[in-house]
Amino acid sequence: MGLKKKFAAAALGLLLILSGCSTGTDATVYGGSFTFTSPGGKREFVYPPGERQTVGDFTGTSLLDENTTIKLSDFAGRVVVINFWGSWCAGCRAEAADLNVAAELTADDNVQFLGINIKDSRSAGADFVASKQVTFPSIFDPTMRTLLSMQGLPTTGIPITVILDKSHQVANIFLRNVSAQEVDVAATALAAENSSTASSSATR
């Protein structure tokens, strides 16, 4: 084999290796300053406006439609309730009905619910959505890029629910199952905030 052919073969091999590192459906994250620190093993966190940090603008394909892209920035100016879940997760199955109720309760309050389906297959995730009659969209993110971008959040245990204010700064984190009532209370309080005040008072 000539030298040029050897270089071409090596380049092709490298390209195949790099392309194998991604499923082609992974979420992508841009920017953001949020870093999570968990003091004393707490499982619930509330951040006042002056202590909130912004998450990166992430984008990924819809769990139910590979041809549809969902971006966090699609929901600009809205409170966003992000729920990290998997079809294999017992806690996720337990809280699904509560999330549906909370989404219904806050439907008129400028609140958007968004699931992030992690460490899962698309078919298993879709079956979960159908069986639990989930009423809000989910991004398919099997390699957890979205979760990993929120530095410090645990990657070994879900469900995790993160609630963003209207400026998409982290206001609440639940490292456990959530109830409809507590999500409703947190989300509606954030929806009532003045978004410009919350944004300008953030430290980072």
Class of domain 24-200: alpha beta
Question: Residue 23 has what pLDDT?
Answer: 43
For the segment 98-109, the average pLDDT, to the nearest whole number, is: 97
Q: Identify the residue with better confidence: 116 or 18.
A: 116
Looking at residue 5, what is its pLDDT?
A: 42
- 140: which residues sit within 8 A by CB, 6+ positions away? 25, 60, 61, 62, 63, 66, 117, 120, 122, 125
User: What is the per-residue pLDDT for 203?
Assistant: 40
Sequence ranges of the domains in the chain:
24-200
pLDDT tens figures, 25-76: 565 666 667 888 876 778 999 999 999 999 999 999 999 999 999 999 999 9
Residue pLDDT, tens place only, 128-160:
999 999 999 999 999 999 988 888 888 888 999
pLDDT at position 152 is 87
User: Mind listing the pLDDT tens digit for each residue in 166-175?
Assistant: 999 999 999 9
- pLDDT value at residue 39: 67
Long-range contacts: 43-48, Cβ < 8 Å, 24+?
43/174, 43/175, 43/176, 44/172, 44/173, 44/174, 44/175, 44/176, 45/172, 45/173, 46/171, 46/172, 46/186, 47/169, 47/170, 47/171, 47/172
Mean pLDDT of the chain: 84
pLDDT at site 62: 97
Mean pLDDT value across residues 166-192: 97
Q: Give the model's pLDDT for residue 6.
A: 39
Query: What was the pLDDT predicted at 155?
Result: 85
